Structure 1
């Protein structure tokens, strides 16, 4: 009598993936759910970004090809004439000059890195040490940044106006020869302009608090063991800061420098209010104020849109180059 052994039929298995059909269906449903979740979370943000970034940029590019006014922005197609005028137009009496504005933007960016950065690092290093009233000092330094640009501009415009508070204080201090200085109406431009240095002082007063707070946050992440080991080895306070603290603060410094550069090329409200929206022909214009001056006040929407496109391209190039050459060491090779 022969015994018969019966074997169960083997279940269908995906030999390539080692999963049964049921498991494959579960994985597909899981991937589909993950995609839907990703779309649900990123969709609204992407929609807002497209509506408020890409659409305005595209609209500005379209208007830059026309010689329109505010009531009829697409009045007359002129092609690239607006861009040609930007790069070929000379200085005209009673009109601001685009390349003066470009110069001012680059000067503000460079001076911010050269002056605001070291000042903020020095203040942060001092406030990082244990001292009485340190919290109050930190608060007072950060308060100007909390104020809006409009409020700050109005306050300093009233202080620096002719016969304003500054002139009164100078006369009381016996410096009446300085009381008649045109702090916000110097017709000169660049580093030789009193207006440039006055506005740069206001910008420093306004934004240096943010840099100090960022650097203090970076200093809090530096291990104290490194400083203590250096002190045991006989390093002085300055050597510790130069050899240990500041190099480890490098990522924070690079992020702040990036924010400062981008902010320097987007300056508008503070400059506009301090100069009452009508700077002198060779005075303190930035690209943003020049854009509004020509596009809105002069009612040349097409030309103003072309300036906006140029400003966008300049800022984009600077951001990409900075990220590629400097921020890449912090963001990784794939950034």
Structure 2
């Protein structure tokens, strides 16, 4: 089969697309013919050996996909050859076939196409878990989304608005902020040239925000935490800005606030039943048209390097998808 292949932890540009041996479904696993795969920031980190986990070399990167079940391993129930599915593979999805654990494979409604499904699991799964499970965001609260034009950021904007929160989107350009408004943001902050903390004060009458959705990190995190309301919740989603913030504990103490981690993939593995329910909710919302991933671009598997670099350089507005078979 054809796959993007990482032979050593190195720059993304060193990836090759070549013929490799196809995987085989073992006990409790599902073999899937990949039609579309979502490209995510952690995929690029993993290729460079900079992610929290390092897969054994060589490997195909890529952690989410949509396609058709080609085979099921021993002990798998509820899935059959020919089923249309989305899956979280953790690794291996930038290939014509991938194996995924059965609890991480989800049947698709007929109304959902492969491209949208491939852009759903990680961004919307992360954001739904963050807002619903970790922050307990409620209708009427104020949600600040940093990096609001990226994949997880746009999902958080859309889901926050769906919950009924007042969403403030922060991004670096007017074009990115306009996209966030299209997805449900009530207010915007261009933090490339606006003081984030002061702008939040102005927009909230000095009260601050109830929840901060933070995939950015660095100094931006500290400014946002300082602008939280009493009892605020800061969601640590990632560090796309490059720096891991050192959060002074007194900032949380003074406002009876909290800062909590959000790592969706590990959460899915730890509690697959709960997260299967979350994914079912998201697929229902998608099929009904209440949410829909913003697709920045769709590229063929042969252009995996270009797709990853577009995401890693933070040029993507929404999701980048690899079209593997279509």
- The structure with the largest helix share of the pair is 1
Shorter-chain TM range is under 0.3
What TM-score, normalized by structure 2, do the two folds share?
Answer: 0.23
- The structure with the largest strand share of the pair is 2
Flag the structure with more relative contact order, 1 or 2, with Cα contacts below 8 A and sequence separation at least 6: 1
Larger Rg over CA atoms: 1
